[in-house]
Structure formats: structure tokens, C-alpha cells
Structure 1
Amino acid sequence: MSKPNLQIYLAAPRGFCAGVDRAIKIVEMALQKWGAPVYVRHEIVHNKFVVDGLRDKGAVFVEELSDCPDDRPVIFSAHGVAKVVPAEAERREMIYVDATCPLVSKVHIEAERHSDAGLQIIMIGHAGHPETIGTMGQLPEGEVLLVETVQDVATLKVRDESKLAFVTQTTLSVDDTIDIVAALNARFPTIVGPHKEDICYATTNRQMAVKAMAAQCDAMLVVGAPNSSNSKRLVEVGTKAGCSYSQLVQRAKDIDWRALEGISSLGITAGASAPEVLVNEVIDAFRDKYDVAVEVVETAVERVNFKVPRVLRDVEIPG
């Protein structure tokens, strides 16, 4: 019995970004340098497959520094941490390595610079997300106010309307953020924004690739974790760009085959913390059921590479 035809549009860029790649390397190199166990505060990146793989190599994932012993190295996740975390690690004389993405660190520096100039900071982000917690934790309580929606801007209570700046979480929807920035500028005409937008190149590029292919897809799957902000934004972008069925899947086993009955075209992309092996797993699952043709939809080429911290630069990773 012949299989039905399926055209798969494969987004490029997709999957790992430079910050995620660097963070994973940091854990692997720390294990190589100091041996197991190495502790990691919070998931190094938001992907269960990646975290489980590092756990198998000897990484121990914890939520707080208080869960770590004094005598083993600890790594801070790619999302960044509040200033009190490394300060506490230094007080305990721990070996620690900061795997914060350099683009997140840039936002931290921006916030501090604006604060030093006497400005109160407004952060566009998602409450409870590790990156938002880390960025807001760069400054004393009350110095950074969080807004999640255009509606939040209207009810914001600030110290001085003439002394404000804003920063954003790096993994937001570009389109949604534009609306919130417009609302901030309308209410606070003198508010200071970043010299260059805070939403990272990888988030922007992955969203642009989804927009380029969404309208020609009967359905779209985003390979990523449910706690991954940038992956969830890709689902939203796919829906808004014209693909009515856009869904997040962690693995091929999560595919809802019944919902996909009758499709002839499918878009596939992956969040910035999802490895390519999981994308291939999803494509192979469709090859079992369909006669698949794959077309890559490339909207940008990424050549960004971030160095690992100096303390690990003498370490070689086997293979």
C-alpha cells in the first residue's frame, strides 16, 4: 500500500543557538576538568533531552545554591542569575562557572548602566522565567519593574516618568514586543531604549524562518520544551503567520497523529535549546507514515560563536 505524499518545509535557522551551544560545552568541559559530580543551578538550558544527557555524564541539577556542597564546582545556567547568587558562591569559597549567555549579560550591563544614570528600569518579560528573575536581580528591589503586556503599561506606577529606561527578555516574540515598546513610548515619551534591540539574533532569526513558511503549511511542529520561552513563541508566531495548527512537541512520541490526518504539507522548526537529533527523529517518524519530500526554507545564516570562560579554555573535549 503506497504512502501519502507529504511536503516538509524545514526552517533554517533552527535549533541550537551560540549561547546554548556554549552553555552545554561549559558543563561538558567542567566535567572533563574537575570530574563528576559537577552541580548546575537550574536546567542549563530548557530541554529535557539535553539535561538528561548531561546528567548521565555526571552533572547534578539543582534549583538553588543551598542544594550544592561547598567542595564541588557549580555552574550557573544560560538564562543568567541574580547578583546574590555568585556573591553567595564567593562567600562560601565555591568554584563556580557562569554560563550566562553573553547576550543576556549584555542586558544585565545595560540595566546597570541605566540605573547608575539615575533611571528606573522597566523590563519587558515573562514573570517567573529564570532570565527575567536574573535580570531583575541585577539591581535592588523596586529598581526594575516588570511588564508582560500592553495592558500592564497602562497601570504601571513609576517613581519619575522622566527618568525611565527599558530592557527586554531576549526570547520574546518580536511582534508582541514591538507593541509593548510602542505603548511605553506613548505613555513615557522620554523613556530610553536599548541601542540595539535586546531580543537576541537567534530568537529573531527563528521567528523569521517560521513566518516565511507558515502560510504554505497545513500544520507546523516546533521541536522544543514546554518551559522554553523561545520555543513557545515560535508556536505563537506560526499561528499568527497563517498556520492554524501549530504545536510544540518535545519528541516524536508527542506527535498527535490524529490531528494531522489529511495534511499534505508540514513545517518543522526547533527552539534554540533543541538539538538537531530530535528534529531528525521527528522527520523519521513522518517518513514511516508518508512519502516525504524535504525543502529547507533558509532566511538567515548564523556564524555567531561565543568563547567559553577563561577558567575552562585549557580543557579539550574528546571527539
Structure 2
Amino acid sequence: MHASEKPSLRVLLCAPRGFCAGVVRAIDAVEQALALYGAPVYVRHEIVHNKYVVEGLKAKGAIFVKELHEVPDGTTAPVIFSAHGVAKSVPEEAAARNFLAIDATCPLVTKVHREASVHYKRGREVVLIGHAGHPEVIGTMGQLPAGAVKLVQTPADARAFTPRDPENFAYTTQTTLSIDDTAEIVAILQERFPSMAGPHKEDICYATTNRQEAVKRVAPQVDALIVVGAPYSSNSQRLREVALREGCRVSALVQRANEIDWSVFGTISSLAVTAGASAPEVLVEEVLDAFAERFALQIETVHTAHEDVFFPLPRQLRPDAAE
């Protein structure tokens, strides 16, 4: 189609979007381990929830396993734990098998682990607000003995929850939840149990918060919104839901440009684009290129926050580690 014949499309590009500091650190950890130790490097679970990133690391020599029993005995290759965090039993098994274990858990997830452990040591029952089965939730619940953490997923769960001692329990949250959904659940618990203890500082991480705030800003202004991210990425799914809640009629999560449904997105006049915390910018560009083939794009970047958070690599991978 000739450029002059293309219909016009106003595109609001969310900023910030895409990679957060924890994801950058986790990917860098695998790449640095490959550089220092050579292939293979074993990684327990997907280092981050993005197929594109995982395939790229596989091509460089990373081997992804679901559980440590898949790692051969006697290997001298590093074994890396993903950004989502792991139950205490995982590093214990790695130590028992003399693996060179490298923990790439996001420091903001580690903070939640510490909070849960401190509450437990103080004799409090621990409530975790999160999604059952998510790797981060499995890791956080696995910091404490079985049954010590109660999972609350919905407002209905919060209304039905009965603590052992209403005067002596505390809540923590998964780092990638919807801010509004979580606030609703916390409000129900606080109303029912005014003495409930909580985190000193919000558990939902800065990147989740910032990406949701950017979507809230643009969603009412556009016909449709695309989140670039994986279907099993919690923070990406929350972005899609936030857009719908804020009045955007069409909100879709796509991993790549080839997943765009042109029967829906082929007739719009305005579009917002964002990306989950584990989606690389190259995939955002791929989506924009696909729209540029069909539309004359007028792109505006909508800035809602500045991010300069940086997390250093795990100690074994820093340049001074060899000294």
C-alpha cells in the first residue's frame, strides 16, 4: 500500500515499559555465567517469562530445567535460580549435591521472602496475597514450613479468611499484582482485622506500579491497547486487565507481531502500546513495524515515571569475584 493511501493511526507508546531491573539482572546473570564458565549453564525454570529471551539464551548454551533432579550429578556447570525466587528446599538440594548455585532472584522478591520470615519468627501467622501456582508464590510460600503461609487470591478469599489469632497476623504480597485489586483485598482485611501487620514499604514492585500507572493514563484515550508479553507473565496480564478496567474497549496480550488479530486491530484510529517487565524492546519495535505496514503512524511517547533502578549481579558473577 502506498504511504499516502494508508489510514492514519495515533499511537501512544507507554513509558516506562518492558524490562525491569530484576529482569535485566537475571538475564545478565545467565550471560555472564556463560562468559565466565562456558556452556552449559543450567537454569531452573524460565529465567524470566519470555519465550523470545529463553530461546536466545538456549542458543548461547543455557539448559533450562523444571527441577534440579534434571541436572546431572557431578556437574561443575553453574546452576542458576530464576528471577521469581525459589523455595528454601531448592538451594538446600543444590548444596547437598555440591552444585555451584547462583541465585538470580529479584532483590524485590527477596525482600518479600525476608518479610515473611521475620513475621513468622515473631510468631505471626503469614497471609500472602497472590496467584496460586505462580513461581514467585511457590517460592515465597516455600520460605516457611508447610501450612505456615495462607494464600489469599480474591476479595472473596479475604472476606472468608479466618486467622488463628486476629491480633497476631501479617500480610505480604506477590510483587507483580494489580495495584487496585491488591488495595481492595488489603482494605477488606484491614477493615476486618485492624491490627493486621503489613510491609514497611509496598511489596508490589516499582516496575509493576509504574507500568500500570502508564496504562491508566493512556487507556481512556485510545480505541485499543496492546501489551507485548507472555500469556503466563503475571505483570503482563495485569496490564491488559488494567486497560479494560480504565475504559479501553479492546486490550490484547501478544508475544509477537504475528499474534495480532487484524480483524480487530485493522480498523482502529488510535492505539496504545506497552510491554510487560520481561518483554524485550525489540518485540515492541516488531509490533510497531507490523502496524506501520498498514497505517501511517503518528507516535507519541507518554512518560509517567523515570526509572533508574539498578541491581548488581549475584556475587559469584561480579568482576571482583575471581580476585
Decide which moves more: 135-144 or 69-78. Answer: 69-78
Give the partner amino acid of 2:28: K
Corresponding residue for 2:48? 45
* Alpha-carbon separation, structure 2, partners of 1:109 and 1:142: 17
Corresponding residue for 1:89? 94
1:64 and 2:42 are equivalent in the alignment: no
Deviation string 1:90-119 (CA, Å, 9 cap, x unpaired) is 011110100000000000000111111110
Corresponding residue for 1:300? 305
Deviation string 1:5-56 (CA, Å, 9 cap, x unpaired) is 0011000000000000000000000111111111000000000000000000
Q: How does 1:1-319 map to 2 (within 5 A)?
A: 1=2, 2-70=5-73, 71=75, 72-314=77-319
Runs of at least 5 residues in structure 2 that lack an aligned partner in the other structure: none
**Matched residues, number:** 316
Tell me by how many angstroms 1:158 deviates: 2.5
Q: CA RMSD in A?
A: 1.1
Secondary structure of the 2:274 match is: strand
* Alpha-carbon separation, structure 2, partners of 1:314 and 1:303: 22
Runs of at least 5 residues in structure 1 that lack an aligned partner in the other structure: none
User: Could you state the TM-score of these two structures normalised by the residue count of structure 1?
Assistant: 0.97
Give the partner amino acid of 1:177: T
Tell me by how many angstroms 1:315 deviates: 8.1
Deviation string 1:254-282 (CA, Å, 9 cap, x unpaired) is 00000123211000000000000000000
Tell me by how many angstroms 1:149 deviates: 0.3
* Alpha-carbon separation, structure 1, partners of 2:162 and 2:215: 36
Decide which moves more: 306-315 or 5-14. Answer: 306-315
* Alpha-carbon separation, structure 1, partners of 2:231 and 2:211: 17
Following TM superposition, the consecutive aligned residue runs of length 4 or more in structure 1 with deviations greater than 3 angstroms are none
Give the partner amino acid of 1:105: T
Secondary structure of the 1:20 match is: helix
Deviation string 1:163-192 (CA, Å, 9 cap, x unpaired) is 100000000000000000001111221110
Tell me by how many angstroms 1:162 deviates: 1.3
Cα pair 1:218 1:245 within 8 Å, conserved: yes
Cα pair 1:32 1:315 within 8 Å, conserved: no
* Identity percentage of aligned residues: 62
Cα pair 1:42 1:61 within 8 Å, conserved: yes
* Alpha-carbon separation, structure 2, partners of 1:227 and 1:176: 18
* Alpha-carbon separation, structure 1, partners of 2:51 and 2:320: 26
